[in-house]
């Protein structure tokens, strides 16, 4: 069990080790996760996963696109394009 503090308060939740496969077939093995009731949400990907690769969110013409690749291949810096 793990003590978890969220905006909804403090609770004690079960901890598991899982293998996580993202929709683009990127796999992470033996990831420590905490089971919690998040309402209508199945999975919350945290910074421990996101920080392992390149993650970008774009919103061209009102269409939001999330993109992730692993391993990281280059530095993405939108400020350098200004």
- pLDDT tens-place string over residues 45-56: 999 999 999 999
Has residue 79 been placed in a domain?
Answer: no
Average of per-residue pLDDT across 52-80 = 92
**How far apart are alpha carbons 77 and 5 in whole angstroms?**
33
**Phi-psi group of 9: left, alpha or beta (phi > 0 → left; psi -120 to 50 → alpha; rest → beta):** left
**Above 90 in pLDDT, residue 81?**
no
Has residue 77 been placed in a domain?
Answer: no
Q: For the segment 10-63, what is each residue's pLDDT rounded down to a tens digit?
A: 989 999 999 999 988 999 999 999 998 878 888 889 999 999 999 999 999 999
Q: Work out how many domains the chain is built from and give that number.
A: 1
**Which pLDDT band, with edges at 50, 70 and 90, does 7 fall under?**
confident
Has residue 31 been placed in a domain?
Answer: yes
Q: Are 78 and 32 within 8 A, CB to CB? A: no
Q: Which domain holds residue 21?
A: 2-35+44-72
């Amino acid at each position: 069990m793990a003590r978890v503090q969220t905006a909804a308060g403090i609770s004690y939740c079960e901890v598991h080790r899982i293998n996580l496969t993202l929709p683009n077939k990127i796999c992470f093995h033996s990831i420590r996760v905490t089971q919690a009731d998040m309402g209508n949400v199945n999975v919350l990907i945290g910074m421990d996963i996101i920080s392992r690769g390149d993650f970008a969110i774009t919103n061209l013409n009102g269409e939001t696109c999330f993109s992730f690749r692993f391993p990281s291949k280059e530095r993405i810096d939108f400020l350098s394009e200004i």
